[in-house]
Structure 1
């Protein structure tokens, strides 16, 4: 019957609640009088029976005014007690006045106080009873997944309340590191110590652990995740406290555990003076503005109030995507979106001259190692000569600062991509050495999380598909950094130095890719399938190093490195090639590329980039097809 009532319209439900109150109010007054009279009825009160039926006529209008009937039963909270208290108190005052004015001398005055207590109990209790019944019916109709909340602080309690009101999850227990909270309960949910987790998961049949630790440091989150890894239970987390406070996300909006949570790297707040030095009130151009690094640079740049932002991109779709994003994110930032190639000298000069560009962030490059390895001519032309062309245009047009986004693969490169980026560095170093009005700066860093070609999205897709997760080598390691942090450090490094500087970003500790894959599998609630666990869920398969791939990446060619004013930016002291000698080699290399002579171009690269230790498997697909 209650289920049928729940299907009524909102108006009909309100009418039913009013009828219930119209019955409970006389019952509360009768109970109060009988209790006052010791359980017996006084015949002297018979002429005044009408008084038991009139309270609804003024109490219900009071409750309507206070909004009692607008409250949704399923989501009632403790505020309803205040509403009932206010309404009943006003009702008692009116009842007192009615009795006094009616001359009802036999009516026991003290029963009015008892009526106040009974009315509070009947009306308030009926609401909470109905709420419990509605939630029970709702739980039966929509079975919810049992979860455990890690963190019994304010965020954890708010998360519990939000989940209890929802239809997806049922909080079964809290876990918290603070012993003073153990054995406490919040709305019937008890707090336990972390050591009890394995038993709790089994006893409560929980299928998910929710981290409610928005204010905990990254390093502590990493420790907690490592301790949870062996439980083989999927984990989700609350957003950071900054996002919660700003209102960008709500407590109940859970996220998958990000790779940065596993790395435990604490972000360093950017320095405003360095962020804005080359950007604020300046015309800023970003090449490769639609790429993973370029687009994040653009997002950071618009926050520093440039006079004009020039988006330069070869891919039409990528340019459209970032331009559309900025139209929503920063509609008041003046910008212009331009299609073009960094290898087109005339186009580069035309753009820089037309908009009087003052700062260039050169992020345009081919970055995927195997692709460039088998397309070396295109890689050389785009990465090395594209940088040279852009740098020449910057000098011709009087650009103040030119910042090259380089890579750790440029250090003692074993692949064509890394060699082309090292050649791009040499080109800028030579220009600075011979004297240039434009200040050339290079920033070198390792892998960024979530970029095109990053292993993290690949692993996520493979785990979702049931595996296998492919890793090239059991011992391969890489440095990792988030895209926003990398972009902020690039901008800050670009504000340092006098020119010709190679800045190296502190990437933290290198990470074994196999360990990363294993941890991602475990935190997805799955088991690694191997010789020791043949019945596991996901296999890690080693595919072998790809052409030109290193086991270990480096950030410095030598050991000569200097600190800077920023704790995560270092200045490398490295050798360079004088421009006349470098230009002679570049001319020969450019001629070979224009003739599409991949073999000669490849050999010349090894003579220009002396640290280039090419992999034996490197070969141009076109040359290979021609020979076959």
Structure 2
């Protein structure tokens, strides 16, 4: 009821102001001493007020909340005023042919109407926002206000200011925008000055501190800003002791933001990939899907992405009871009505895998089960061979026997020119699946290769965070080491995208699908950014320690062999590589021999057999293992 009364008051106010605007226009045109007869003026005003009230009601002008008056409201006032005047002029023309009404009066009336109707709204908003001083950016800020800077592109800053109402925020005072575009320096956005160079940050922070407005946080407004800008910003902020954060809406008050921690996932500096969700839905919707390694970091995220597309049944295979329990419970929460089966099984157990796959008859199999930690695998080569290669063969053969439509092998950039046991076993698994794919089977074998995944089990990010929390040092194997990085959701989404584009594409049999990882990241820079995000100074508060390359580790990872041709796949974020092929019969014999040598526990012979499939396992590697 109170709201309806306010709406009625707003309509009466606007109608009165329209009449006042017409009267002021008439006075302005005629002068106070030469006005038309009072009866004529009264008739004009009465007609105009009625027309305006009807137009304003029809266009919903009274529904806008004055507390949040904006440019959209001003635009509505301009259009409604113009419509009222046009209808008024047409009515007078039909009745009096505009006798005694100068043509300039409607024009003057329009300008005055916009001011008289719009100005009270803006004044009311300014009053509610803390007075005209706050609106104009002058006067002393309220006690307890937090002084912040924005960082990012101008368009993102403008959107953040509007979304979180930072111009009138009762919690935050924005003093400047730090922009990666130097050409924007010296300009301003919504009255906020723009710094086009991170080097200006220190001087600004000192000036504000002297004026009693010490900067408490830098608010990042651009998702994945340029990597160089991120590095400079976080390091400069750490030197000044200013945390870098991002804005998130408050759960119950969208008009004021909260600050949340900026994560490394936000800082990859790569634009998001456009996903073809319709194709991904066609791949998954209404079908039985099986995922091996379903409790791992990659496998579990693949499961989460699959749930978005409504499979009819989901089969989870995992050899860790606890990991399987966790993902099974999560599936129950996310999709309580989904038919599912959680299977404790090891991909090394050929009979068990064949039994499960034959019973379930999946349409698509995502094979994520693997051992992937390079140093551990280097010390346990037979375990890696049995899981990464023999296990892949077991699941792949089961897929063919069950008539599965597609089999998706999740591989690694370490399979390119591998010098480690882990990389060699993944390359051998790729080769076996390629051979099956070109052998004429009805099952499509799709190999998806990508680099390091941020936050996955055994990745460097959790280790660095633990070391930072412990006070350092942060250990890095080599100062020049570089790696490709991608977030877990990104990698899993692109796995589905690659599968969706290739499962029906027989022209790409035997190819390998490589996810576009962007540019490689220097591990030293990554460590420094993580230290800076913690509000600490690299090599001052937290030391960096270089330990030397570990067994099987390479300085630089690659996504393609030198002789692999790179072709567009038709899917955004996915590239096709024409990898070398082996005949199925030959690789089948080699894998059988390898399985026999691993079963006997013969490490040198097993590595020798593996090197027949993957020649980049050098003689030095063989001699080292034999020793």
Q: Does 1:428 align with 2:436?
A: no
Shift of 1:285: 0.5
1:412-467 residue CA offsets vs partner (Å, 9 max, x unmatched) = 11110111111111211222333212111111111111111221222222222221
Matches within 5 A, 1:103-182: 147-150=148-151, 153=158, 155-156=160-161, 171=173, 173-175=175-177, 182=188
Which residue number corresponds to residue 554 of structure 2? 550
2:513 to 473, 496, 503: 503
Larger-gyration structure (1/2): 1
Q: How large is the RMSD of aligned CA atoms in angstroms?
A: 3.7
State the alpha-carbon separation in 1 of the partners of residues 264 and 623 from structure 2.
32
1:343-385 residue CA offsets vs partner (Å, 9 max, x unmatched) = 1222212222222211100000001111111011111001100
Q: Does 1:351 align with 2:351?
A: no
2:538 to 524, 528, 547: 528
State the alpha-carbon separation in 1 of the partners of residues 591 and 403 from structure 2.
24
State the alpha-carbon separation in 2 of the partners of residues 268 and 249 from structure 1.
28
Which residue number corresponds to residue 449 of structure 2? 444
Which residue number corresponds to residue 26 of structure 1? none
State the alpha-carbon separation in 2 of the partners of residues 383 and 618 from structure 1.
23
> Secondary structure of 1:572's partner?
strand
Equivalent pair of 1:342/1:364 in contact (CA under 8 Å): yes
Equivalent pair of 1:315/1:339 in contact (CA under 8 Å): yes
State the alpha-carbon separation in 1 of the partners of residues 257 and 599 from structure 2.
58
State the alpha-carbon separation in 1 of the partners of residues 236 and 471 from structure 2.
19
State the alpha-carbon separation in 2 of the partners of residues 618 and 257 from structure 1.
47
Structure-2 change in CA distance of 1:207 and 1:414 (3 Å): farther
Which residue number corresponds to residue 414 of structure 1? 419
> Secondary structure of 1:561's partner?
strand
State the alpha-carbon separation in 2 of the partners of residues 126 and 302 from structure 1.
46
State the alpha-carbon separation in 1 of the partners of residues 167 and 369 from structure 2.
45
Structure-2 change in CA distance of 1:481 and 1:511 (3 Å): same
Shift of 1:567: 3.7
Which residue number corresponds to residue 38 of structure 2? none
Structure 1 range deviating more: 144-153 or 394-403 = 144-153
> Secondary structure of 2:590's partner?
helix
1:591-625 residue CA offsets vs partner (Å, 9 max, x unmatched) = 111111222212221122123237659977xx99x
State the alpha-carbon separation in 2 of the partners of residues 615 and 202 from structure 1.
58
Matches within 5 A, 1:438-477: 438-477=443-482
Which residue number corresponds to residue 205 of structure 2? 201
Which residue number corresponds to residue 565 of structure 1? 570
Which residue number corresponds to residue 491 of structure 1? 496
Structure-2 change in CA distance of 1:220 and 1:125 (3 Å): closer
Equivalent pair of 1:283/1:310 in contact (CA under 8 Å): yes
1:557-595 residue CA offsets vs partner (Å, 9 max, x unmatched) = 223222211242222112222222222222221111111
1:586 to 591, 595, 601: 591
Structure-2 change in CA distance of 1:513 and 1:225 (3 Å): closer
Which residue number corresponds to residue 92 of structure 1? none
Q: Does 1:367 align with 2:372?
A: yes
Equivalent pair of 1:445/1:505 in contact (CA under 8 Å): yes
Q: Does 1:210 align with 2:215?
A: no
Equivalent pair of 1:235/1:257 in contact (CA under 8 Å): no
Q: Does 1:236 align with 2:244?
A: yes
Equivalent pair of 1:415/1:615 in contact (CA under 8 Å): no
Equivalent pair of 2:420/2:552 in contact (CA under 8 Å): yes
1:539 to 527, 531, 543: 543
State the alpha-carbon separation in 1 of the partners of residues 566 and 412 from structure 2.
16
State the alpha-carbon separation in 2 of the partners of residues 525 and 619 from structure 1.
44
Count of paired positions: 477
Gaps in structure 1 of 5+ consecutive residues = 1-76, 82-123, 133-138, 530-535
Which residue number corresponds to residue 523 of structure 2? 513
Gaps in structure 2 of 5+ consecutive residues = 1-64, 70-125, 135-141
State the alpha-carbon separation in 2 of the partners of residues 163 and 349 from structure 1.
64
2:407 to 387, 402, 421: 402
TM-score (norm 2): 0.68
1:263-287 residue CA offsets vs partner (Å, 9 max, x unmatched) = 2100112112331232111100010
TM-score (norm 1): 0.68
Shift of 1:191: 5.3
> Secondary structure of 2:517's partner?
coil
State the alpha-carbon separation in 2 of the partners of residues 475 and 617 from structure 1.
27
1:297 to 299, 302, 305: 302
